[in-house]
Amino acid sequence: MQISKELLEKYHDGMCSAEEKKAVEDWLFSDESTDELALPAGGDKLAIQHEMWAEIASVLPQKGQNKIRPLWRQVAASAAVFVMVGSGWYFLQKSGSQDIIKLNNTSETVNKNVQSNDFTISVGPKSNVEINSETGVIDFCGAMMINPKEDIEFTIQGTCENPTDNKEKVILKKGLNYYALNYSSNANSNEVIVLEEGAVMSLPPLVMKQLLHQFDI
Amino acid sequence: MNPAKRGASRLFIAILISFFGCNTEKPGKQGDTDKKYSIYAMMKDGKEYISQVDSIASGTLDPSEGAKVAPAPLYYDLIVRDGHYYRVDWKTGRFIKIAIINNVFTEEASLQLDGFKNLENYNWISADTILLIGCDATMQKVRFAKVHVKEMQAVQGSVPIPSPFGTFNSMSVGFSKLENDRLLIGYTYHTTHALKGYTTSDTVYTEVLHYPDMRSVGRMKDIRSAYPGGINTNQSHDFTDEKGDFYFIACPGIALGNNPDKPTAIFRIKKGQGQIDPEYFFNISASPIRNHGYGLWYIGNGKAIVRTERKGLFTGMKDHYRVPHMDFFVLDLASKSTTRLNLPLDKGTARQCVLVENGLVYITVNSDAEGSYVWIYNPKSNELRKGLKFEGDVDYILRLERLN
């Protein structure tokens, strides 16, 4: 079975069939395969590898100076960039006592799911979100699900277009699933919709079905 | 690369992937098919309940004493008949039969459908046989399943309606009407943009099929409105009158067709004609209502009720469902006159909220300001009065139906 970006994403999301799971794990731990991870075409290979490592190092905990890396680590870094570029990125940025959660999902097919101390989050395909608990603002473009672990008030603003015109203040209640999406209709081409799970059924059938499928409601 | 290094790199990838990683009406407590009515409510805490009661003409009801619906939300999906509830689970493609047993929402039986995931329309073609019409998982092909609900056995197949073409990438079925050996199916096409909205074709399509072999014998196109009917598990959009004439509403408003430059309108297919009547067109948007509408119910004697939105009271889909802005109008189908019922503004984008029985019309109305009631309308006297009152933290009364 071909190991692809989509298959790795499915594996991460726990959506693989038994056969797919076995194929990924065989690939991860097998020493027999001859396939290699491809670096981006063109450019200087070593420079690209160093650039990739620098990007990875910027989002990983610092562990001292960036020294000459063993080959396995360079390959791992390349693979990490392959995964990160291919399926988006996610990191927590400490800011005082608050967390900033940034998640960018460039996948065209699967969601990205993240557990933090304060939320469970699922970000739809081609969507991104930044949650700033300090300012109480969630910026997003696309579609997302958020389930808070405590009652909390947020201003949710759609950043696809004119964020200041497209925001909604909501109180998110502990343990409930909320969905936010940027939505365009003839009546309003730039709308931010935030609703509890039960209200999803009130959306136009096509939009409702997209959300049901995308977030497995 | 040596094996140890390869293994380590793959393990590292795995780690990185994970990193991304009055009198009080008591709800029925048994499998109460002897109860007369089913009421489906959502409370302010988001929980959903079904109550089975004997009267809706008076008294009070706290829906939270009913059977809790699980998995919720299901109010969009249900078909109610003879004390049972039916639905198609879009995840599994199972047709499921449900009953309330000892106040518990209980699955009784199920039938695996073949390639049928999205139920769009149903039609009882006999006392125990339901014709389901829907689409595959990707809304590209129309399927049918004729299910005998006592035997839970089905005849299934595809419906020769063309898949989305050109710029269209999805479709909807909005009504079906079986008359002798002719089955008429109304449908339309959409262009969807991943969670950023969609548009609907400016054409009402109607396929004429030979029944029961489902062979296409004709196709009609009508550009006077868009999105014929709607998903009828969710709300009624059509009816057949005493003469056998069939009426359906086309709904281009933002809550269905999202092609609001087209008018909401009512079409007619006269008995035995097998085609949309070109001479009949009741333009709701151009009537004194001056708004788009969605739900349509027949109340007898050439009169129907349409549930319409009121522009200016909502801003878009983000508040369309939660702001009270819906009106009920009585329509005279022959004279095309409209009369507003003096009810509080209702909320909820789509609801099964009108029931006709013995010449009286029972209408559930959710009003944040004036409470939630079953209202009783007498078409002969034009009298409106309150019936059953809903108590507790009710948010929406989503369905009202006869159980038997």
pLDDT (0 to 100) of residue A15: 74
pLDDT tens digit sequence for B76-135:
999 999 999 999 999 999 999 999 999 999 999 999 999 999 999 999 999 999 999 999
- Look at strands A137-141 and A152-158 and give their pairing: parallel
Q: Which listed CATH number (2.60.120, 2.40.50, 1.10.3470, 3.40.190) goes with A89-215?
A: 2.60.120
Contact B200, B259 (CB under 8 A): yes
ipTM confidence score:
0.84
- Omega before B73 within 30 of 0, i.e. cis: yes
Alpha-helical (H) ranges within chain A are: 5-12, 18-29, 45-59, 71-87, 205-215
The residue whose two tokens read 């009949």 is: B280
Q: Give the span between the Cα atoms of B276 and B70, in whole angstroms.
A: 41
Substitution target in B317, B346, B352, B366 with the highest count of A β-carbons within 10 Å is B317
Segment (H or E) for B7? helix B3-19
The residue whose two tokens read 């929406």 is: B396
pLDDT tens digit sequence for B31-45:
445 899 999 999 998
Quick check: B13 and A83 CB within 8 A?
Answer: yes
Substitution target in A10, A72, A121, A213 with the highest count of B β-carbons within 10 Å is A72
Residue B299, pLDDT > 70, answer yes
Long-range contacts, B190-196 (Cβ 8 Å, 24+): B190/A206, B190/B164, B191/B167, B192/A206, B192/A210, B193/A184, B194/A125, B194/A126, B194/A210, B195/A124, B195/A127, B195/A142, B195/A143, B195/A181, B195/A182, B195/A183, B195/A207, B195/A210, B195/A211, B195/A214, B196/A160, B196/A182, B196/A183, B196/A184
Q: Give the span between the Cα atoms of A62 and A22, in whole angstroms.
A: 33
Segment (H or E) for B317? helix B317-320
Share of chain B above pLDDT 90, in %: 87
Contact A122, A177 (CB under 8 A): no
All residues at 6 or more sequence positions from A121 whose CB lies less than 8 Å from its CB, including other chains: A101, A103, A113, A114, A115, A129, A131, A144, A145, A146, A147
Nearest chain A Cα distance for residue B377, angstroms:
26
User: Residues, chain B, total?
Assistant: 404
Quick check: B259 and A176 CB within 8 A?
Answer: no
Segment (H or E) for B295? strand B293-300
Closest CA to B249 of B335, B182, B186: B186
Q: Give the span between the Cα atoms of B191 and B392, in whole angstroms.
A: 42
Within chain A, which residues score under 70 in pLDDT? 2, 5, 9, 12-14, 27-98, 163-164, 186-187
pLDDT (0 to 100) of residue B135: 97
The residue whose two tokens read 């029985």 is: B357
Residue B17, pLDDT > 80, answer no
Nearest chain A Cα distance for residue B36, angstroms:
26
Substitution target in A165, A185, A200, A216 with the highest count of B β-carbons within 10 Å is A185
Which member of B195, B349, B350 has the closest CB to residue A124? B195
Mean pLDDT confidence for B250-262: 95
All residues at 6 or more sequence positions from B310 whose CB lies less than 8 Å from its CB, including other chains: B291, B325, B326, B327, B345
Closest CA to B105 of B73, B62, B146: B73
pLDDT (0 to 100) of residue B279: 97
Per CB-CB distance under 8 Å, the chain B contacts of A11 are 17
Q: Give the span between the Cα atoms of B137 and A217, in whole angstroms.
A: 15
- Provide the number of CB pairs (under 8 Å) joining chain A to chain B: 174
Quick check: A83 and B48 CB within 8 A?
Answer: no
Contact B387, B397 (CB under 8 A): no
Per CB-CB distance under 8 Å, the chain A contacts of B3 are 31
Nearest chain B Cα distance for residue A135, angstroms:
24
Check residue A164 and report its DSSP letter.
G
Q: Give the span between the Cα atoms of B164 and B140, in whole angstroms.
A: 6
Closest CA to B20 of A82, A50, A1, A143: A82
B297 by DSSP, 3-state: which?
A: strand
Contact B226, B252 (CB under 8 A): yes
Residue B382, pLDDT > 80, answer yes
What residues does each domain of chain A span?
A: 5-87, 89-215
pLDDT (0 to 100) of residue B189: 98
pLDDT (0 to 100) of residue A82: 47
